[in-house]
């Protein structure tokens, strides 16, 4: 298949591109950013195309001749450059649907989020608005994927907490009782790849969650144990969690934004096992995360030894 992808230059996109090219699909990644271009362009079977993805006419030109389009652009926090939840999660999806119609592409895969449309956060609300647009486009063959928090090498979840735990002997934690069901990026990519040419997945929404539920505090404590650090993780009560989010929202990079705090009020879990249809057993954090967290520790120690003068 000839597949055009929007938003594939990030963490999940890397896993998906590897799965697609392993199945000998031709992948064209649309991007405006220069960041990571070299890495993407070097991948066999992948071509990076510089394009304004927010222009429906440009999208239609790029979609021409494609067998499928994959929409996976997303942001966790609103930032500079006009990147708002409304623009990235809703308006871009609207433009993709319009461009698919103009180009005559009927197969569209979309990455959303577990609990899209629920809760009070703009992140979840905007994801829900995008899903409503897609379900209204009944002239297209659309599949929607709703993953829980995604983990894997280079993720922004376990790696972020591991870095914080290496620096801080005591870690105050907002929303410690929030429940999550981490899902492996490779398993999400496998489901999406398998669904591409399966008509039974048209018009379906798949909730993709890992095999086990955890509280946020349990996950942070597990991370500390995995990297071999004895750390005191202090779960903050509701008012202090909110206060921490308000302060962190003002810090450059927003380690915990106010909208993140609102998202954490809705448990990121599912009772469904939508992996079953694809005959995939989702991998647990124990099978994947220690390899890249402890591997990075060994690598740093090796580099440190190499820098020491020889005697």
Mean pLDDT of 211-229: 97
Q: What phi and psi values does residue 140 have, to the nearest 5 degrees?
A: -110, 155
Report the DSSP beta bridge partners of residue 27: 3, 46
Distance CA 265, CA 179 (A): 9
Query: For 79-84, which contacts have Cβ atoms below 8 Å and span 24 or more sequence positions?
Result: 79/254
Q: Around Cβ 308, how many Cβ atoms within 10 Å?
A: 7
Q: How confident is the model at residue 32 (pLDDT cuts 50, 70, 90)?
A: confident
Instruction: Say which range, 8-12, 63-67, 234-238, 252-256, has the weakest mean pLDDT.
Output: 252-256
Report the DSSP beta bridge partners of residue 124: none
Tens digit of each residue's pLDDT (9 = 90 or more) over 134-177 = 999 999 999 999 999 999 999 999 999 999 999 999 999 999 99
Instruction: Say which range, 36-50, 263-277, 294-308, has the weakest mean pLDDT.
Output: 294-308
Instruction: Say which range, 42-51, 56-65, 170-179, 274-283, has the weakest mean pLDDT.
Output: 42-51
Output the average pLDDT for the chain. 92
Structure tokens given for 199: 């008509």
pLDDT at 302 over 70: no
Mean pLDDT of 42-65: 91
* Planar angle of CA 202, 209, 154, nearest 5 degrees: 105
Number of domains in the chain: 1
pLDDT at 191 over 70: yes
Instruction: Say which range, 12-21, 27-36, 209-218, has the weakest mean pLDDT.
Output: 27-36
Question: Helices in the chain by DSSP H: which ranges?
Answer: 11-22, 37-42, 56-63, 85, 92-103, 122-136, 158-167, 185-195, 216-226, 238-248, 258-263, 285-307
pLDDT at 296 over 70: no
User: Tokens 């005697």 sit at which residue?
Assistant: 311
Buried-state track 58-82, b at ≥16 Cβ within 10 A, e below 16 = ebbebbeebebbbbbbbbebbeeee
Is residue 176 one of the residues assigned to a domain? no
Is residue 264 one of the residues assigned to a domain? no
CA 137 to chain centre: 24
- For residue 254, the number of C-alpha atoms closer than 13 Å in the C-beta half-sphere is 14
**CA dihedral (125, 126, 132, 135) positive or negative:** negative
Tens digit of each residue's pLDDT (9 = 90 or more) over 35-44 = 555 556 567 8
Distance CA 12, CA 185 (A): 6
Mean pLDDT of 99-125: 97
First to last CA, the chain: 58
Structure tokens given for 235: 């779960």
Q: How confident is the model at residue 253 (pLDDT cuts 50, 70, 90)?
A: confident
Distance CA 277, CA 291 (A): 28
Instruction: Give the CATH number of the domain where residue 114 resides.
Output: 3.40.50.720
Mean pLDDT of 106-110: 98
- What is this structure's pTM? 0.91
Distance CA 257, CA 252 (A): 10
Q: Are the beta carbons of 189 and 14 closer than 8 angstroms? A: no
The boundaries of the domain holding residue 28 are 2-155+183-210+269-278
Is residue 132 one of the residues assigned to a domain? yes
Is residue 93 one of the residues assigned to a domain? yes
Is residue 74 one of the residues assigned to a domain? yes
Q: How confident is the model at residue 254 (pLDDT cuts 50, 70, 90)?
A: confident
Is residue 20 one of the residues assigned to a domain? yes
Is residue 298 one of the residues assigned to a domain? no
pLDDT at 81 over 90: no
pLDDT at 295 over 90: no
Q: Are the beta carbons of 85 and 23 closer than 8 angstroms? A: no
The confidence score (pLDDT) of residue 153 equals 93
| Helix 158-167 with 285-307: angle, nearest 10 deg | 50
Is residue 84 one of the residues assigned to a domain? yes
Q: Around Cβ 179, how many Cβ atoms within 10 Å?
A: 16
């Amino acid at each position: 298949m000839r597949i055009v992808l929007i938003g594939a230059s990030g963490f999940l996109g890397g896993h998906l591109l590897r799965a697609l090219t392993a199945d000998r699909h031709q992948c064209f990644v649309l991007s405006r950013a220069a960041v990571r271009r070299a890495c993407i362009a070097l991948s066999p079977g992948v071509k990076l195309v510089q394009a304004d993805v927010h222009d429906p006419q440009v999208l239609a030109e790029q979609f021409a001749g494609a067998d499928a389009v994959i929409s996976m652009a997303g942001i966790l926090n609103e930032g500079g450059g006009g990147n708002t939840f409304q623009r990235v999660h809703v308006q871009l999806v609207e433009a993709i649907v319009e461009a698919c119609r103009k180009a005559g592409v009927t197969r569209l895969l979309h990455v959303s989020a577990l609990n899209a449309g629920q809760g009070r956060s703009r992140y979840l609300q905007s994801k829900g608005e995008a899903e409503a647009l897609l379900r209204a486009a009944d002239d297209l063959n659309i599949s929607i994927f709703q993953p829980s928090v995604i983990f894997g090498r280079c993720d922004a979840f376990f790696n972020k907490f591991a870095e914080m735990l290496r620096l801080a002997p005591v870690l105050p934690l907002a929303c410690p009782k929030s429940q999550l069901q981490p899902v492996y990026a490779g398993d999400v990519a496998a489901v999406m790849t398998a669904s591409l040419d399966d008509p039974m997945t048209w018009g379906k929404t798949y909730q993709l969650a890992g095999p086990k539920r955890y509280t946020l505090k349990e996950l942070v404590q597990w991370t500390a144990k995995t990297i071999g650090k004895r750390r005191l993780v202090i779960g903050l009560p509701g008012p202090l969690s909110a206060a921490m989010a308000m302060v962190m929202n003002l810090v450059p990079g927003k380690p915990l934004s106010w909208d993140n705090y609102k998202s954490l009020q809705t448990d990121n879990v599912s009772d469904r096992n939508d992996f079953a249809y694809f005959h995939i057993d989702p991998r647990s954090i124990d099978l994947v995360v220690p390899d890249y967290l402890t591997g990075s520790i060994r690598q740093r120690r090796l580099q440190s030894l190499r820098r020491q003068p020889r005697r």
